[in-house]
Amino acid sequence: MTGAGVPLERSSGTPASFRDLWAEIAPIGRDPASGGYLRYAFTEPELALRDWFRAQAARRDMTVTDDGNGNLFAWSGDPWPPDTVLTGSHFDSVPHGGGYDGPLGIVSAFLAVDRLPRDAAAKVGVVAFAEEEGGRFGVPCLGSRLFTGVIAPDRAAELRDAAGVGFAEALGARPAGARPDLLGRVAAVVELHIEQGRNLDVPVGVASAIWPHGRWRFDFTGDADHAGTTRMADRRDPMLTFAYTVLATNKEARLSGAHATMARVTVHPNATNAIPSLVRGWLDARAADAATLDALVEAVTKRAVDRAGRDGTGVRVEPESVSPEVAFDARLAERLAGALGGVPILPTGAGHDAGVLSGHVPTAMLFVRNPTGVSHSPAEHATDADCAAGVDALAFVLGTLT
């Protein structure tokens, strides 16, 4: 890791300089077996990335502040100047995710600030949001939801990870919750992010919208019993209801042109030779509009309930987080796309902290090309040249906004 005392040149947007900074964080939290990243919020690798953030700030003589919600901010001048422009993203990953989703926006933010004149740089805050993926505590964009008041601090404090550790315990304090005193100083937010579909065939694009999406927990209940002795006709096996619901999810999504996935499941007691008493599965559903999303979730729920009736099992559905459609500031998106030479403006099905912020302040996103479109996987990738083009674009955008 680069030491805090190393002097820094104020011009770093070349592919080589991107590569150098990227190389500093690339090993952090990487699982050698899968090649993917395990960077859950407030675990050792994510804390190491936070140390790296502080070291980068120190190299640049920037001041680091936090908002009491786990979000970090770095400032070239006084913290939270009037008409602050925030830029950054998140360090945390999904389990065995790619290295670009999140950290690319933070590395690019530091490199872009390096290229701004001092007075412009003084208006920019580099931000690292906490728990964007919801990979540890279940609710995505938790840091930005807290900062903007979209989630109550009491609810966030009670969220628990798989080991039973509470969010407040991981944070080291009860979260502060909404910070209108800070948010009121923000004039604009720009998040640079790797593109996550197969939708961008030039190095950089601008976001138009985020599909409405959410997470619903399905609890399927039945009777634990012996796998060898319980007659097939006598079973109340929630695994069957779950399995049917997984298939129904896929079918309903295809029928409605939406995206829906059941990719996470826990089973109790999770024994080879015992019929389970509880199967808990999470539905991740996304659609281009809210009506389609609502109809999809309703259809999946109905299919699960009908099937539970036939299986003699129970099913309970709990929404854990639902994010409305985001339409990014269209005038800002067009202005930025035009200023960048007429780059594409495109929607995404992926959630982002910028989406949460967009409900409160003018917000834009820049996407960097992803040659295969693969994301949330070790195969996620962007070329150094495209990432450097992203830094150029971000520096240019920040220059126009400050």
Q: Which is nearer to ligand GLV, 192 or 388 (CB)?
A: 192
Dist CA 369 CA 310 (whole Å): 47
**How many residues bind ligand GLV, per CB under 6 A?**
4
Spatial separation of the C-alpha atoms in residues 66 and 279, rounded to whole Å: 39
Q: What is the CA radius of gyration of the chain?
A: 22
**Residue 101 binding Mn ion, by CB under 5 A:** yes
Beta-strand pair 213-221/84-90:
unpaired
Interacting stretch for Mn ion, rule CB under 5 A, among 101-109, 198-206, 241-249, 278-286? 101-109
Question: CB-wise, 212 or 222, nearer to Mn ion?
Answer: 212
Among 99, 125, 177, 351, binds ligand GLV (CB under 6 A): 351
Residue with tokens 């495109």: 346
Find where tokens 């601008």 sit.
206
185 versus 264: smaller Cβ distance to ligand GLV: 264
Residue whose CB is nearest to Mn ion in the complex, by number: 101
353 binds Mn ion, rule: CB under 5 A: no
Residue closer to ligand GLV by CB (options 210, 308) is: 210
DSSP string, 309-370: HHHT-EEEEEEEEEE--EE--HHHHHHHHHHTTS--EEEESS--HHHHHTTTS-EEEEEE--
Is the CB of 350 or the CB of 401 nearer to ligand GLV?
Answer: 350
102 contact choice in Mn ion, ligand GLV, none (CB below 5 to 8 Å, kind-dependent):
Mn ion
Nearer to Mn ion, 2 or 377 (CB): 377
CB of 139 to ligand GLV, least distance (A): 11
Q: Closer CB to ligand GLV, residue 120 or residue 354? A: 354
DSSP E strand boundaries for 25-166: 63-66, 72-75, 84-90, 124-129
H/E run at residue 110: helix 103-114
Task: Establish if 102 lies at the interface with Mn ion (CB under 5 A).
Answer: yes
- Cβ nearer to Mn ion, comparing 140 with 281: 140
Q: How far is the CB of 129 from ligand GLV (least distance, A)?
A: 12
Q: Which is nearer to ligand GLV, 148 or 323 (CB)?
A: 323
What SS3 class is residue 296? helix
Angle (CA) 397-398-402 rounded to 5° is: 125
**Nearest distance from residue 131's CB to Mn ion, in Å?**
11
Bridge-based pairing of strands 72-75 and 63-66 is antiparallel
What lies within 8 Å, CB to CB, of 164 at 6+ separation is none
Among 279, 350, 389, 397, binds ligand GLV (CB under 6 A): 350
The listed partner (ligand GLV, Mn ion, none) that binds 140, CB under 5 to 8 Å by sort, is ligand GLV
**Taking CB within 5 to 8 Å according to partner kind, which of Mn ion, ligand GLV, none is near residue 351?**
ligand GLV
Footprint (CB under 6 A) of ligand GLV, residues 110-139: 133
Q: Rounded to the nearest whole angstrom, what is the least distance from the CB of residue 350 to ligand GLV in the complex?
A: 4
Counting other chains too, the contacts that 289-296 makes at CB distance below 8 Å and 24 or more residues apart are 289/212, 289/325, 290/212, 290/324, 290/325, 292/256, 292/257, 292/258, 293/211, 293/212, 293/213, 293/214, 293/258, 295/256, 296/252, 296/253, 296/256, 296/258, 296/260
User: 137, exposed or middle or buried, with CB in 10 Å at 0-12, 13-18, 19+?
Assistant: buried
Asked whether position 97 contacts ligand GLV by CB under 6 A, the answer is: no
Binding mask 298-337 toward ligand GLV (x if CB under 6 A, else -) reads: ----------------------------------------
Tokens describing residue 40 = 């859950």
Spatial CA neighbour of 243 closest among 270, 279, 271, 269: 279
380 binds, among ligand GLV, Mn ion, none (CB under 5 to 8 A by kind): none
| Binding footprint of Mn ion on the chain (CB under 5 A) | 101-102
| Binding footprint of ligand GLV on the chain (CB under 6 A) | 133, 140, 350-351
